[in-house]
Amino acid sequence: MKLLRYGKAGEERPGILDASGRLRDLSGHVADLSGLYLSDQCLEKLRAIDTERLPRVEGTPRIGPCVGDVGKFICIGLNYSDHAAETGATVPPEPIVFMKATSSICGPNDGIEIPRHSQKTDWEVELGVVIGKTAKYVSEADALDHVAGYCVINDVSERAFQIEREGQWCKGKGCDTFGPIGPWLVTRDDVADPQNLDLWLEVDGHRYQQGSTRTMVFGVAYLVSYLSQFMSLQPGDIISTGTPPGVGLGQHPPVYLRPGQTVRLGIEGLGEQSQHTYPAE
């Protein structure tokens, strides 16, 4: 299933794509696509619905983040060996873990705000993993049973804030609009292998990132299990699993976003995003 949320920011309604790719309203069946409605039991009920009988949503409404009321937005750094190499870093022996502020979350086609005093706002296409069942001390073998589905994430990053301003990475990762999520939450039954997905990103039509989740250092099942040893993962939590090479920081010389540009990105089977950049007021 391809589940999504549509409507004005803060007023999103749950929706689903039918077999023809048309948007249908799900609000008669679930209040929202938040953690309360992402269990296997709830998803099975949604899967049993005849989508052709659901109300069709006309026009082209705004698409919101595909998950509502996110509790934790957990990210993994340097999780592609070729990306680590382009930034001059070594592959870590264990996953690098940091958080993005949930206030950074926005829709997949909402704009990216270039923060005040920013000179190094960067892009990162990433595979997002959405938790559907509480995971605490789970084994790698059982980890994917706790996943509701997958989505596209742009882990927008301000490199000077992240690297040059001391402290942890969160200062450069949690700015408003730095977490576009969606367009869809694709349920795990529709993703045959999360370790075999192509992903890409373009800025103003120039393709900077082209990679595959095959080259992840730590795979999805390992990450879910690993994180669950340190914190319980709750339904609706999101894990952003790292980015392939081609970020602005890795260019020679580095290239960063400026107001008035268009960023497009996507992952095989999970949809595409498109964002325009604009300056903070």
Tell me the CATH number at 254.
3.90.850.10
69-88 residue pLDDT tens: 999 999 999 899 877 777 77
Asked whether residue 101 is assigned to any structural domain, the reply reads yes
Residue 135 and residue 71: Cα distance in Å, rounded? 14
pLDDT at 211: 96
CB neighbours of residue 254 within 10 Å: 12
pTM of the predicted model as reported, rounded to 2 decimal places? 0.96
CA–CA distance, 177 with 111 (Å, rounded to integer): 7
9 belongs to a structural domain: no
- Domain membership flag for residue 27: no
**Domain extent for 264:** 64-279
Burial environment of residue 204 by CB neighbours within 10 A (0 to 12, 13 to 18, 19 or more):
exposed
Alpha-carbon distance of 105 to 31, in angstroms, equals: 20
Q: Is the pLDDT of residue 112 over 90?
A: yes
User: What are the tokens at 256?
Assistant: 């960063």
The number of folded domains in the chain is: 1
At residue 51, the pLDDT reads 96
Tell me, yes or no, whether 141 lies in a domain. yes
Check residue 173 and give its pLDDT: 96
In a domain, 246, yes or no: yes
Residue 177 has pLDDT above 90, yes or no: yes
Q: Considering the domain boundaries, does residue 130 fall inside one?
A: yes
Neighbour count for residue 40 (Cβ, 10 Å)? 15
Q: Closest Cα to residue 149, out of 271, 11, 275?
A: 271
Q: Are 69 and 34 in contact (CB under 8 A)?
A: yes
For residue 111, count CB atoms less than 10 angstroms from its CB and return exposed for 0-12, middle for 13-18, buried for 19 or more. middle
13-17 and 2-6 as β-strands: parallel, antiparallel, unpaired? antiparallel
Under DSSP, the state recorded for 215 is G
Whether 17 is covered by a domain: the verdict is no
Residues 6+ apart with CB under 8 A from 74: 97, 98, 99, 227, 237, 238, 239, 240
In a domain, 79, yes or no: yes
Judged against a pLDDT cut of 80, whether residue 159 lies above it is answered with: yes
